[in-house]
Amino acid sequence: MYSEKILNEFYNPANFGVIKGASGVGKVTLDIGSEIIKIYIKVEEEKVVEATFQAFGGVVAIACGSVAARLINGKAVSTLSKFAVSDLTAVVGKVEDDQMYIVHGVVNAVHLAGESYYNRSAKDED
């Protein structure tokens, strides 16, 4: 049912955990399977210098959270809004249709982490 790439990410997740004092956090709760996905980012000079994830869910949630955190590490915060489903599936391979809502949720969490950073930055400037 799961590709070798998904299982490898599930059994060996990278960047798992919380960033205390994160610059931005994106949290998504998925109604269909009750998964919760959080993406944490630490930003310096408009660049993601650290990204981590937490996933309370199954194999696909953990695998995609791991890949997403790895892919956005080192990226400009401004590019997070362009992070796409195809970015994840290019790494993990095919995800079963009934699990694609999780991939979309992880992508949304990345977008929300970027938005969270900008919202916090705007408040700091006030």
- pLDDT per residue over 53-82, tens digit each? 999 999 999 999 999 999 999 999 999 999
| 9: confidence class by pLDDT, cuts 50, 70, 90 | very high
Q: Based on the structure, what is the number of domains in the chain?
A: 1
Query: What does the pLDDT average to over 43-48?
Result: 96
What does the pLDDT look like over 82-96, one tens digit per residue? 999 999 999 999 999
Query: What does the pLDDT average to over 95-123?
Result: 93
Strand partners, 48: 43
Q: Domain limits at 72?
A: 4-125
| 125: confidence class by pLDDT, cuts 50, 70, 90 | low
CATH at 118: 3.90.1010.10
Three-class SS string for the chain? CCCHHHHHHHHCCCCECCCCCCCEEEEEECCCCCCEEEEEEEEECCEEEEEEEEEECCHHHHHHHHHHHHHHCCCEHHHHHHCCHHHHHHHHCCCCHHHHHHHHHHHHHHHHHHHHHHHHHHHHHC
Task: Tell me: pLDDT of 126 over 70.
Answer: no
What does the pLDDT look like over 22-37, one tens digit per residue? 999 999 999 886 889 9
pTM of the model: 0.93
Contacts of 117 (CB under 8 A, 6+ apart): 23, 24, 41, 43, 77
